[in-house]
Structure 1
């Protein structure tokens, strides 16, 4: 409803400008109306009136490096009205790539069979592949509905060019994302027959996989490997496909084959770490992957394997369900109330979830402009409306004195000071921050593992020890015996919290510098 009201306001302003002869102002408001409601008939009627008064209107919507989506869409419609729909479609597709769930292409001219005949197949392939990179596989339901008109264009184009292998393959990729698995298989099969290449076999393999036809999918992907044995991304695809169907040993064999060719190939490293973690649950694989990501910032494309593995695991992907721990009280020497700026910065980053421990560290970088004493004040008086305030304040401490070697660092000393004492939210948060430091800094791992091991032993029989056990399981380099103890502690019911007063922790060693 809000979008419709915004479109109506923009239309009213456009009508007024058009009546006054202010064509550019009318165009600007029309672009705004299209951005809010791309298929509203009133908008298209007014666009036609503007075009009639401005010699087609194209000069009012010039292409620029940072053209708004509304301007792109308006120009696309005017190009179609001028008899050039094949030039307008790429502009609509650019808008769809920006906001895939919006119905940019739900207009009559896109569904005309003539468009599929007029548009050059290579141009349409480029349009379709850009769309595919902007949506998931499969796409969510709103996106499927919004992108159906493009599939219609592909149908008409394939009818006009039935042997165009690239068009068939790209069309298959789009059909697969839109839930048309049978159509995807048909088009990809025809493309592979018309021109058997590595890419054609990959498209066919993906189409078979989406249709649940595993043997055919694997056969096609193996043929892709035969076309190009050095393309290790296909090895990773085969491994992922096998793992998804419960054939983990076979999947890891393909990972090993690829790593034998190139131990540093990013797709295979990510896939291998994910599958090995799936196989044995050892976070060492994830820590090694985090190290690889840190040491190889220029990867071929974005990977989500680390976050996928950490998701829903306590502390690896986010704060666990609220543990029965006291709030805890911190009273740093000479600390006052948190400043408004400190609270504002904390609100900006605080959340109950993060992709993985290094991602939590990266997110906390926004707190580096706060002094340590400000962060300690946030611990002393955590804002009630901020999620996991203690966790993020402690993560903020990790960003201070990063040039100092870990063992002699201020950040280590402050976190250990916070860790002293019983079990509460602050000690829990401090321990997590120490563990995050071990994820991002290999030189801290032995020290942090020693701290965690001692902490687990110290609190093993206390209420709330389960939370420490979960933290231990997220600790890099923890010895097998301690990990087994922690695992056993997480498998028994949590001990109910005893009522009692929260304690005060006085950080006598901290002074304002």
Structure 2
């Protein structure tokens, strides 16, 4: 078998376990059996060796004690031995805990769990609790690849329902599991039986969820409405109804339900999160998302995690991902990344320095022909007092800063990614760059390291080298936000350096630095007026320049403005107009649409 086959590793552990058993060394044998179970929890040979160990030790349970750091294989071994000793309920508790630890592993796929007679030895309330524990440990719905690991629990649910056909709690919990693993018809049937047997708020909620998963919105809303009638004070159900209505486009009704919840408790976390999400869906104003981020920061002890902010930011320019580079040279770079390394691209004015440097490195056969300098010259800083990141030598451009250290390059290489859940999450993730020297952070902007090894790095390098460079620059600027945070914002090094980049030569680093400032405004309300002013001035400057020459970064700056907290209405209107003009303008077909979708499906944590 291949070396990475889990069964091979288990076989090696079992061989050592048998040797220890033959020598009477039961503790070492137990350790090897636990390791084998962790590798291959359903392998028959593992359970045969565990049975030998039990026979040699009078049951074997004491060989696998529990503490705060119990190895998962030892917990699973103890579960099987408890079941063999006539204590299957305790064994199921441990298997459910193992599933919570590693939900994609089939810890429960063994005969004693799926045997019909097991449910005669365990109270239905206990089975329901096990099923609810498993549900709480897995996504809703569970991806197809993760469903086989839960098949034994679904069999257990079916056996328990057969034995206790009128137990409302059990039927509802069984429905919840069935729904998560894609057995929606079964989920509806079990939940409906549960409601008929024992009408309750929780039963109606389970039924409503099952109907919703089946796309039967009318029945789902009716069930959730009955849940409200059972308990008008459970505001989580109001949020569920609002979310269900929003999913089918009934936004006004959804907002009405969530306002009813907020009227009862303005601080209830589910209602607040849902309300801000729905308001953003209604009018697209980022102020709702900023308010949601503020609420989450001020209430870190919410009852559970919410995904509303990440859902709203996902795939949106700068809110959840870096925007691909714009302009004819960026398009040519993508074509060269796809394999066309030669040819020529004709530009009306000089390209951004980062674009030129990336093209020279990634597509050395690409001829770049520039018609003229343009007015104003894009190779000059937009403000004369900005410290230069680049210097021009004739038609060529070179970094004006030294290359970063190898350690700094490696640290950023491990971190950079084109997507993030939302700006505060990006800020938090960048704390890993807090100890880098300022010279290293600036060096990373002008000397981007090679992409990391692995599939994502290879795709970025080969298909869109510009995207990797932009990732590096974005994360280096986020690192600048963590530089000398003890300094007050107004006179801080981090603010000064980011402003130098914002007002320097028109470049991709302009966008990256402005995104860092926008992110600072998301996480610190005190800096919002300052950042909003900078964003407004930089966008207005780009709009003026665009009247006389192309500004490839203008649309991206507009998206950044629309992501800025506390932006004035006039600048927001300007940004909206620029985005609309860029959306309607003819653009070449982007061959990376599918690739971009793949890269941003799993945001960097």
TM-score, normalisation: structure 2: 0.78
Residue aligned with 2:318, SS: coil
2:500 to 397, 417, 435: 417
In structure 2, relative to structure 1, the CA distance for the partners of 1:326 and 1:5 (3 Å cut) is farther
Deviation (angstroms), 1:197: 2.1
2:364 counterpart of 1:364: no
Deviations 1:305-324, CA, capped at 9 Å, x for gaps = 10111111111112122443
1:476 to 548, 565, 580: 565
Question: Match of 1:503?
Answer: none
Answer whether contact 2:411 2:433 (CA < 8 A) is retained: yes
Question: Match of 1:374?
Answer: 440
1:151 to 134, 137, 154: 154
Answer whether contact 1:469 1:490 (CA < 8 A) is retained: no
Moved more, 122-131 or 139-148: 139-148
CA distance in 2 between partners of 1:12 and 1:331 (Å):
63
CA distance in 2 between partners of 1:213 and 1:378 (Å):
52
Deviation (angstroms), 1:422: 2.9
Question: Match of 2:579?
Answer: 487
2:186 to 163, 167, 183: 183
2:169 to 156, 166, 170: 166
2:519 to 431, 436, 439: 436
Question: Match of 1:445?
Answer: 528
Deviations 1:221-278, CA, capped at 9 Å, x for gaps = 1121122222111110000011111211111111111111222211111111111212
Question: Match of 1:500?
Answer: none
CA distance in 1 between partners of 2:121 and 2:176 (Å):
22
CA distance in 2 between partners of 1:376 and 1:131 (Å):
48
CA distance in 1 between partners of 2:16 and 2:585 (Å):
64
CA distance in 2 between partners of 1:143 and 1:390 (Å):
36
CA distance in 1 between partners of 2:178 and 2:449 (Å):
49
Deviation (angstroms), 1:302: 0.2
Question: Match of 1:384?
Answer: 450
Deviation (angstroms), 1:36: 1.0
CA distance in 2 between partners of 1:211 and 1:403 (Å):
53
Q: How does 1:195-344 map to 2 (within 5 A)?
A: 195-323=198-326, 324=330, 325-327=352-354, 330=389, 336-344=402-410
Considering only aligned residues, what root-mean-square deviation do their CA atoms show, in Å?
A: 2.3
Question: Match of 2:336?
Answer: none
Residue aligned with 1:298, SS: coil
CA distance in 2 between partners of 1:58 and 1:414 (Å):
62
In structure 2, relative to structure 1, the CA distance for the partners of 1:314 and 1:334 (3 Å cut) is closer
1:114 to 96, 117, 120: 117
Residue aligned with 2:317, SS: coil
2:19 counterpart of 1:16: yes
Moved more, 463-472 or 37-46: 463-472
CA distance in 2 between partners of 1:182 and 1:339 (Å):
59
Q: How does 1:401-412 map to 2 (within 5 A)?
A: 401-412=484-495
Residue aligned with 1:491, SS: helix
In structure 2, relative to structure 1, the CA distance for the partners of 1:488 and 1:182 (3 Å cut) is closer
Deviation (angstroms), 1:335: 6.1
Question: Match of 2:67?
Answer: 64
Moved more, 189-198 or 146-155: 189-198
1:349 to 396, 401, 415: 415
2:82 counterpart of 1:82: no
CA distance in 1 between partners of 2:400 and 2:284 (Å):
45
Deviations 1:191-242, CA, capped at 9 Å, x for gaps = 2233222212211211222222222211121121122222111110000011
Question: Match of 1:499?
Answer: none
CA distance in 1 between partners of 2:522 and 2:135 (Å):
34
Deviations 1:396-443, CA, capped at 9 Å, x for gaps = 111234344433332211101112233222222111111111211222
Unmatched tracts of structure 1, length 5 or more: 497-513
Residue aligned with 2:169, SS: helix
Deviation (angstroms), 1:476: 2.0
Answer whether contact 1:117 1:156 (CA < 8 A) is retained: no
Answer whether contact 1:116 1:155 (CA < 8 A) is retained: no
2:28 counterpart of 1:25: yes
Moved more, 172-181 or 365-374: 365-374
In structure 2, relative to structure 1, the CA distance for the partners of 1:27 and 1:432 (3 Å cut) is same
Question: Match of 2:340?
Answer: none
CA distance in 2 between partners of 1:22 and 1:334 (Å):
67
CA distance in 2 between partners of 1:425 and 1:37 (Å):
50
CA distance in 1 between partners of 2:587 and 2:144 (Å):
44
Residue aligned with 2:46, SS: helix
CA distance in 2 between partners of 1:439 and 1:182 (Å):
44
In structure 2, relative to structure 1, the CA distance for the partners of 1:454 and 1:30 (3 Å cut) is same
CA distance in 1 between partners of 2:401 and 2:20 (Å):
59
CA distance in 1 between partners of 2:503 and 2:401 (Å):
19
TM-score, normalisation: structure 1: 0.91
Deviation (angstroms), 1:364: 0.9
Q: How many residues in Structure 1 have an aligned counterpart in Structure 2?
A: 496
Deviations 1:150-193, CA, capped at 9 Å, x for gaps = 12212222222222221121111111112222222222222223
Answer whether contact 1:361 1:395 (CA < 8 A) is retained: yes
Answer whether contact 1:472 1:486 (CA < 8 A) is retained: no
Unmatched tracts of structure 2, length 5 or more: 331-351, 358-387, 392-398, 453-467, 589-605
Answer whether contact 2:35 2:73 (CA < 8 A) is retained: yes
CA distance in 1 between partners of 2:19 and 2:242 (Å):
61
Moved more, 384-393 or 145-154: 384-393
In structure 2, relative to structure 1, the CA distance for the partners of 1:146 and 1:306 (3 Å cut) is same
